[in-house]
Chains A and B, each alone.
Chain A
C-alpha cells in the first residue's frame, strides 16, 4: 500500500514515535513517582527520579486528614448514575435520529451542536439560581441531573453514528418475523450495538468523573464534594500539599485510564466516524 520505507525513514519514524510516547507517558510517571515518595523526600535535593524508599504515607493521609473516601464515593455515585441514565436516554434519541426522517430532525441535531459551541460558563450563574429554587444545590441528585443534560448531546451524536453503521435490513428482518419496532430495537439492535453503548457509557462516565466547574458551583459542603472539587480545594489554599495532591491525582486518573483502555478502540471509532463521514 505505502511505498517501501528507506532505512533513514524507518529510523526517523521509530525515533519520533518513541520520543512522543516518552513525552506522553512522562507526566504520568512523574506524578506517580511523586505520590510514592515520603512527604519529606518530595522536597529534597537532588530530585529523585526513582524514590529511595516507597512510602504510602501520602495515600493514607488522604483518607485520614481529608475525607477522600467521601469524595471518591460521591464521584463514583454521580458519574455512574449520570453516565447510565444519559447513555440510556441517548440510545433512544440516537435511534430515532438515525432511523427516522422527520421535519425537526436537522434542527435537533443543530441544537445538539450548539451546546458544544457556546461556553457553558454563561449558564453557571443562572443554573445556580435555578437549582437554588429547586432546592437542589449541594445535592447529589441536582448534580446528577445537570450532568445528564451535559452528556446527552455528544453521546447522542456518537451513538447515532454507531446506529447508522448497522444496516436497516437487520431490523426489517426482525419486523417481518413479527417483532414490533420497539421489540426489534431491544432484541436485535441493542445486542449488536453493545460495544458502541459501552463506549458511550465510558465516555460519559469519564466526563462526569472529571467535571470541575459545575460541581464547584453546585456542591459547597465538604461532605458532598466530588474529587475534582476536592482537588480544587487543595490548591486554593496558599501552599499546595504536593504529597496529597499527587496521590489524589493518581487515584483520580487510574480508574479512568483503566476504563479507557477497555474501550479506547470504540471511543476512537465513535469520535472519528462522524467527522470523517461528514
Chain B
C-alpha cells in the first residue's frame, strides 16, 4: 500500500457527515455481496467468534438456565431437592400481596418518570437547536448524569432527601413551603415521589440528546414552507416537527420504557425498596428475592417481566405503526 493512496482515500472519510462526494464515484450495486467462498465464511466466523462465544457463555447460558430454574424448586438455602415443580413458583408470586404493590409501583415508576423526562427533554432539545456561544459546553455539562451510576445517583439523592440534614427540606423550608421537615424516604408516598424525582433528573438528558439529533435532521425547507403558509409556532411544532421525528420519538420511548422498567439501580441505592416494600419495583424485588436465595421464585418473576415487556412492545409497535399507515 502506497502512502499517497492512503492519504487520498483518507480524505473523503473526514467528511463522513457529507457523503455526497463519495457517492458520485459511480453506481456501485452491492459490490460487497460476493458469492460464498470458504475463505470469506471463515473470515466472518473468525471475526464473530469471540463476541458470540463470550455472550453465549456468560450471558445467554445463565439466562437460559435461569429460565428453567423458574420451574424448579431452587433455593440456595436448601439445594437437596431441586426437582421440577411446574408453575408453583409463579403461583407463589401471584399469591404474594407484595407482587401487586410492586406492579402498581412499577407502573408509577415508569409513567411518572417517563412523561416528565420526555417533556423536559423535548423542551431542552428544541431550545438547544438554536446555536449559542457555549452550547457545546452546556451540552457536556448537562450530559454528565450519564457518567454516574444509577446506584450512586440513588445515594446522592438519598443524602439530599435526608429528613434531618437533607438539603431538600432545608431549601423548602427556606422558601416557606414547609413548616417542618418532611420525612421523605420514611413515608411510602413521598419515598416513591423522591425516587421518581431522582430518575427524572437522570433521564432527561437521554431524551434531550436523542430528540436533538432527530431535530437536526429536519430539513430547513419544511420550516420555511410552514412559515410561508403562516403557521404559528405551536402549529409548526405539532404539524411539522413532531410528525417528522415521530419514528425516532416512538423508538426512543419504547427503549426508555424497557430500560426504566429494568432499572432498579436508583431505587436500590436510595431506599432499597423500603419503607416496608413500598418502593419496590419488579426488578428491585427480584434482586431482594435473589439475595434471599430463592432463585426459583426470582427466575419466575424474571419471566413474568419478560412476558409483560414483550406484550407491551408488541402492542406499542402495532399502535405506532397503525398511525403511520393512517397518515400516508
Contacts and interface: CB of A to CB of B under 8 A. Distances in A.
Contact of A115 (B59, B69, B299): B59
Nearest to A123: B62
Interface string B51-93: 1101101111111011101000010100000000000000000
A194 to B, nearest CB: 11
Interface string A239-251: 0101001100100
A275 B287 contact: no
Contacts of A20: 120, 124, 142, 204
A98 B122 CA distance: 31
Most A Cβ at <10 Å: residue of B57, B59, B252: B59
Interface stretch (B8-16, B96-104, B107-115, B188-196): B8-16
Contacts of A177: 1-2, 5-6
Nearest to B153: A27
A1 to B, nearest CB: 5
B141 interface: yes
B191 to A, nearest CB: 15
A24 B54 contact: no
Contacts of A124: 62, 66, 287, 290, 298
Nearest to A17: B127
B159 A30 contact: yes
A188 B6 contact: yes
Contacts, number: 296
Contacts of B136: 265
Most B Cβ at <10 Å: residue of A17, A24, A123: A123
Nearest to B19: A167
Contact of A169 (B25, B144, B153, B214): B25
A110 interface: no
Contact of A30 (B2, B5, B167): B167
B225 interface: no
B146 interface: yes
B286 A119 contact: yes
B159 A34 contact: yes
B1 A27 contact: no
Interface string B119-150: 01001100111100000101111111111110
B328 interface: no
A253 interface: yes
A265 B139 CA distance: 9
B213 A122 contact: no
B267 to A, nearest CB: 12
B262 interface: yes
A34 B255 CA distance: 35
Interface in A6-56: 13, 16-17, 20-21, 23-25, 27-28, 30-31, 34, 42-43, 46-47
Contacts of B156: 27-28, 30-31, 249
B220 interface: yes
Contact of B55 (A152, A182, A217, A232): A152
Interface residues of A, number: 105
Interface in B161-213: 162, 164-165, 167, 170, 201, 204-205, 209-210, 213
Contact of B141 (A25, A149, A178): A25
Interface of A: 1-3, 5, 13, 16-17, 20-21, 23-25, 27-28, 30-31, 34, 42-43, 46-47, 89-90, 92-93, 95-96, 99-102, 108, 111-112, 115-127, 130, 145-146, 148-150, 152-153, 156, 165-170, 172-174, 177-179, 181-183, 187-188, 192, 206, 209-213, 217, 228, 231-232, 235, 240, 242, 245-246, 249, 252-253, 256-257, 259-261, 264-265, 268, 271-272, 275-276, 278
Interface of B: 1-2, 5-6, 8-10, 12-13, 16-17, 19, 22, 25, 28, 30-33, 40-41, 43-44, 47-48, 50-52, 54-55, 57-63, 65-67, 69, 74, 76, 120, 123-124, 127-130, 136, 138-149, 151-153, 155-160, 162, 164-165, 167, 170, 201, 204-205, 209-210, 213-214, 217, 220, 223, 227, 233, 247-248, 251-252, 255, 258, 262, 264-265, 268-269, 272, 282-283, 286-287, 290, 295, 298-299, 302-303, 305-306, 309
13 contacts: A1-B223, A2-B223, A13-B130, A30-B159, A92-B50, A92-B51, A120-B63, A125-B74, A167-B12, A169-B25, A210-B148, A259-B147, A264-B139
Given A27-B157, A115-B55, 18 more contacts: A46-B170, A89-B50, A90-B51, A93-B50, A96-B48, A108-B52, A121-B287, A126-B63, A126-B66, A152-B55, A165-B16, A167-B13, A212-B149, A245-B155, A249-B155, A253-B148, A261-B140, A275-B213
